């Protein structure tokens, strides 16, 4: 079956995804949603996709909308996507730590028949988390380890002297909900773990600055009635954006190919 999709955002994820979709007959990109001032920009074109600035302008046969634009864009467009009954596939999961926003989307989706999927993004192990979550209580801990410089411009600067670190240093321990509040630009992985597992308050998080690290690392540890597991990823970033791991793009592609590899909220 062919999916007719729209993508919100025309940044690193979208451009890499489009390059990977070339020649894929099962996915047709009908629209790309960008900020109004970017419509008509010289580099804003891709095959016969029409660039628009609102969900109301999408082609009628678009059935799936991919969000790859950030928390503010998700807040701006997600309500319109689910109100239109389309399948929403999102990357900026940190925005869902706002319960009122998330529950509102879920309620609308139930009314319209829309689906909401959070792609696995930079990590894996969502299947194991979701399985254990059905079976009963589980303790889930996520550790995010990034090069010291990656934490510049965040509250980490008030916890440690990032330029003086000589060893990996934990500067934050708390819940996935607190990560979303304090470190919104780094909240997506913790949020995705929380959504697959025991939720934003019960999922605990450590954030570490490592002066010798070159790449981001993500560790998910879970212990529940079915047993325990530990899943560690070292993420190779996109060449065009050191903040985004390549896995994120290919988790979207994997979802488009198989309909799986996500946390489904509705």
Would you call 250 helix, strand, or coil by DSSP?
A: helix
The H-or-E segment that residue 225 falls in is none
DSSP 8-state assignment for residue 160:
S
Among 3, 6, 7, 8, binds ligand NAD (CB under 6 A): 8
Number of residues that bind ligand NAD (CB under 6 A): 27
Find the part of the chain contacting ligand NAD (CB under 6 A) among 40-48, 68-76, 79-87, 165-173. Answer: 68-76
Helices and strands (H and E) in the chain: how many: 8, 14
Active site residues: 218
| Shorter beta-carbon distance to ligand NAD: residue 81 or 122 | 122
Q: Which two tokens stand for residue 167?
A: 């060893």
Q: Which helix (H) or strand (E) holds 251?
A: helix 246-258
Instruction: Return the number of the residue (91 or 162) whose C-beta is nearest ligand NAD.
Output: 91
Residue 25 or 47 having the CB closest to ligand NAD: 47
In the bound complex, what is the minimum distance in angstroms from residue 226's beta carbon to ligand NAD? 25
Half-sphere exposure of 82 (CA within 13 A, CB side): 25
Pairing of strands 262-264, 116-119: antiparallel
List, in order, residues 6 or more apart from 60 with CB less than 8 Å away.
none
Q: Does 195 bind ligand NAD (CB under 6 A)?
A: no
Site string for ligand NAD, 76-115 (x = CB under 6 A): x--------------xxx----------------------
237 near ligand NAD, judged by CB under 6 A: no
Q: Quick check: 73 binds ligand NAD (CB under 6 A)?
A: yes
Which tokens go with 10? 């025309």
CA distance 250 to 259: 13
Q: What is the DSSP letter of 114?
A: -
Q: Is 188 in the site for ligand NAD (CB under 6 A)?
A: yes
Work out how close the CB of 223 gets to ligand NAD at its nearest, in angstroms, rounded to a whole number.
Answer: 23
Query: Which residues in this chain contact ligand NAD in the complex, by CB under 6 A?
Result: 8-13, 33-35, 68-73, 76, 91-93, 121-122, 188-189, 192, 241, 244, 248
């Amino acid at each position: 079956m062919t999916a007719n999709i729209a993508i919100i955002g025309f940044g690193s994820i979208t451009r890499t995804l489009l390059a990977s979709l070339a020649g894929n007959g099962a996915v047709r990109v009908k629209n790309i949603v960008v900020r109004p001032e970017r419509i008509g920009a010289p580099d804003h074109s891709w095959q016969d996709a029409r660039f628009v600035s609102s969900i109301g302008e999408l082609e009628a046969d678009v059935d799936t909308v991919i969000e790859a634009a950030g928390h503010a864009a998700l807040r701006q467009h997600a309500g319109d996507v689910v109100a239109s009954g389309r399948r929403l596939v999102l990357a900026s999961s940190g925005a869902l730590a706002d319960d009122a926003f998330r529950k509102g989307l879920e309620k609308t989706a139930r009314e319209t028949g829309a689906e909401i999927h959070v792609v696995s993004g930079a990590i894996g192990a969502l299947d194991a988390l979701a399985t254990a979550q059905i079976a009963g209580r589980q303790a889930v801990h996520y550790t995010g380890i990034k090069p010291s410089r990656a934490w510049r411009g965040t509250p980490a600067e008030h916890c440690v002297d990032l330029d003086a670190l000589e060893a990996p240093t934990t500067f934050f321990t708390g819940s996935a909900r607190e990560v979303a509040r304090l470190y919104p630009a780094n909240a997506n992985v913790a949020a995705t773990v929380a959504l697959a597992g025991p939720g934003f308050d019960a999922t605990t998080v450590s954030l570490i600055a490592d002066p010798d690290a070159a790449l981001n690392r993500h560790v998910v540890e879970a212990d529940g009635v079915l047993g325990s597991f530990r899943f560690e990823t070292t993420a190779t970033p996109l060449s065009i954006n050191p903040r985004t791991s390549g896995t994120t793009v290919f988790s979207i592609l994997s979802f488009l190919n198989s309909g799986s590899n996500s946390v489904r909220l509705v």
